[in-house]
Homo-oligomer: A and B are copies of this chain.
Amino acid sequence: MGLATGYNACLITIGNEILIGRIINTNMAWLGKKLTFIGYKVIRGIIAPDIIEEIAWAFNACMQTSPRVIISTGGLGPTFDDKTSEGLATAFNLNLVLNQKALEMVKEKYSKKGLEITPARKKMALLPEGAEPLPNPVGTAPGIHLVIDNTHIFALPGVPSEMKAIYEQSIESLLIKIGPKISFVEQTIRSIGLPESGIAPILDKIMKKYHGVYIKSHPRGKELGKPLQELHITASGKDKNKAQKLVEEVTQELAEELSRLGAKIEYL
Chain A interfacial positions (CB closer than 8 Å to B)? 1-4, 11, 13, 16-26, 28-34, 36, 42-51, 54, 61, 77-81, 109-110, 112-113, 115, 118-121, 124, 138-140, 159, 195-201, 203-204, 207, 216-219, 222-224, 232
Does A140 contact B223, Cβ atoms closer than 8 Å? yes
Say which residue of B30, B138, B197, B201 sits within 8 Å of A222 (CB atoms): B138
Is A200 a contact partner of B79 (Cβ separation < 8 A)?
Answer: yes
On whether the beta carbons of B32 and A3 are closer than 8 Å, the reply is no
23 example contacts (A-B, Cβ-Cβ < 8 A) are as follows: A1-B50, A2-B20, A3-B16, A3-B19, A3-B49, A17-B218, A17-B232, A19-B36, A19-B44, A21-B30, A21-B36, A25-B25, A25-B29, A28-B47, A43-B54, A44-B47, A79-B196, A79-B203, A80-B207, A120-B200, A124-B197, A139-B219, A140-B197
**Chain B residues, CB < 8 A from A119:** 201
Q: Is B46 within 8 A of A32, CB to CB?
A: no
State whether B138 touches A197 (Cβ < 8 A): no
Looking across the interface, which residue of chain B has its beta carbon closest to that of A64? B57
Cβ of A73 to closest chain B Cβ, rounded Å: 13
Alpha-carbon separation in the docked complex, A230 to B196 (Å): 43
Additional A-B contact list (18), CB under 8 Å, known A2-B17, A21-B32, A140-B224: A13-B45, A18-B28, A19-B36, A19-B45, A21-B34, A24-B29, A43-B54, A45-B46, A50-B216, A79-B217, A109-B224, A110-B197, A118-B197, A118-B201, A120-B197, A139-B222, A140-B195, A140-B223
Enumerate chain B residues within 8 angstroms of A159, measured Cβ to Cβ.
219
User: Which residue of chain B has the shortest Cβ distance to A109 in the bound complex?
Assistant: B224
Judging by beta carbons under 8 Å apart, are A26 and B24 in contact?
yes
* Interchain CB contact (< 8 A) of A43 among B19, B44, B207: B19
Supposing A24-B26, A28-B21, A224-B140 touch, asked if A44 and B33 sit within 8 A by C-beta, the answer is: no
CA distance A54 to B207 in the complex (A): 22
